[in-house]
Structure 1
């Protein structure tokens, strides 16, 4: 233990109260009674690792996925786990690959330190899908079997995020075929929640693609979605052709 008694007590509090594998920021350290001066001492004495500016880890620990996500949740405005990852975490999966990239959504871009990229393969989406009248945090919640500070898109919202990712190179393999296969497993989507999301969605591509995925699924939630398309762009096809991705054509 550190020779300094105050630093020793601070280290003991950290070891008792901080989840292992979770990076710490200065506010968390202060909440544990560790001052900036004590933090510097603990780093120099080898009891804390300094990952980057404002990010620390107990010596001997390795950042875990959930630990990194909890850290990011305190620093990235409006961040939640979304799209394909959110559905996978809730039991809906298709062709899950080794070291799957975690799909994150946030309100604005965030420059990730190198250690985050090393320990959490991910994509960060900042596309705005909804108008300002959708209540903040709608259809986003914590999962019962994970850290309660990690917010995750509920299946209905994750479906819209999945649709947004289709055809984008950053989605790392997200295809229309895969989206169709995933939608075919979404038997229990809540029509009222989906209706609310589609009513506030401002992206023609997303609304049309969700309509098509709903029709192909054959489930009750997929019926009567054309009215949302008519609200945004009646009578117009939606076409996208990006270099390195298959063309995407959605009917009117």
Structure 2
């Protein structure tokens, strides 16, 4: 392949792996030679970009998502990070510089990513009872000034992901409660499908308590009798009151007699 043809195929601001280059007819040896002659820039073991282009955490996620050809992302920006990308950042804490990625159980971040500073701090969470193939899980996000898009969690999936990895002590913190206050545009049909497919009883019960407290119109359109909410009582906070509707302990401020 001619060099200019290859460079035209690498999206501006993206990182590509040796596997991606191989799928475009460039061997590892050729990639090393292109890096040696200044056409490509090596960013770590098995990862390259076009020389001189600015890189961000999105550049790295592009490389990680294109390493999989199943049509479903092996990992993706989710939780607080996805909510921020969808415009809910003003409800999240200032200075949040961690990128929250979610992925299938076996997925690990590659070593080259831990050696670069431009990607910032990344935390990889497992999907925690939210299967990757659930409908309404992902949407495309195009970073500013880049020539590629990423698959990221929809707001509906992102809020469930955030709850799933939040310890009980922080479930009813102002961070989550305030965020829920701003989530008035969530889609009830998409939420219903995700909740029906979610395998974590804890995530579903906590979500429903927080959603009820926020009082948005979409909460009234959810069909909670169709959800598997498990059996028995669950303690979600110390010293709380037992919520009669969802059978979890909640802070006094969230309590609502049935």
- Give the TM bin, normalised by the shorter chain: 0.7 to 0.9
Is the 1:213–1:222 contact (alpha carbons within 8 Å) kept by the matching residues of 2? no
Task: Give per-residue Cα distances to partners, 1:137-193, cap 9 Å, x unaligned.
Answer: 632121366665411111111111121132289xxx887321111111111111111
Name which of 52, 56, 68 aligns with 1:64: 56
Shift in alpha-carbon separation, 1:32–1:200, aligned structure 2, 3 A: closer
How far the C-alpha of 1:82 sits from its partner, in A, is: 0.8
Structure 1 partner of 2:117: 118
Structure 2 partner of 1:244: none
**Are 2:201 and 1:209 aligned?**
no
Name which of 7, 10, 20 aligns with 1:28: 20
Is the 2:135–2:194 contact (alpha carbons within 8 Å) kept by the matching residues of 1? no
Structure 1 partner of 2:84: 88
* Alignment gaps of 5+ in structure 1: 1-5, 242-246
How far the C-alpha of 1:39 sits from its partner, in A, is: 1.8
1:1-252 correspondence to structure 2 within 5 Å: 9-10=2-3, 12-75=4-67, 78-93=74-89, 94-98=91-95, 100-108=97-105, 109-116=107-114, 118-120=117-119, 121-130=121-130, 135-136=133-134, 138-143=136-141, 149-167=149-167, 176-223=173-220, 226-227=224-225, 231-239=228-236, 251=243, 252=247
Q: Distance in 2 between matches of 1:174 and 1:122?
A: 22
Is the 1:83–1:160 contact (alpha carbons within 8 Å) kept by the matching residues of 2? yes
Task: Give per-residue Cα distances to partners, 1:75-130, cap 9 Å, x unaligned.
Answer: 37531211111111111122443362111111133133254563322211113323
* Alignment gaps of 5+ in structure 2: 248-258
The alignment of Structure 1 onto Structure 2 pairs a total of residues equal to 233
Is the 1:166–1:179 contact (alpha carbons within 8 Å) kept by the matching residues of 2? no
Task: Give per-residue Cα distances to partners, 1:1-53, cap 9 Å, x unaligned.
Answer: xxxxx8xx42x234333223311222433455434332232233343332233
Query: Which has the larger displacement, 101-110 or 217-226?
Result: 217-226
| TM-score of the pair, normalised by structure 2 | 0.75
Q: Distance in 1 between matches of 2:30 and 2:240?
A: 56
Is the 1:163–1:210 contact (alpha carbons within 8 Å) kept by the matching residues of 2? yes
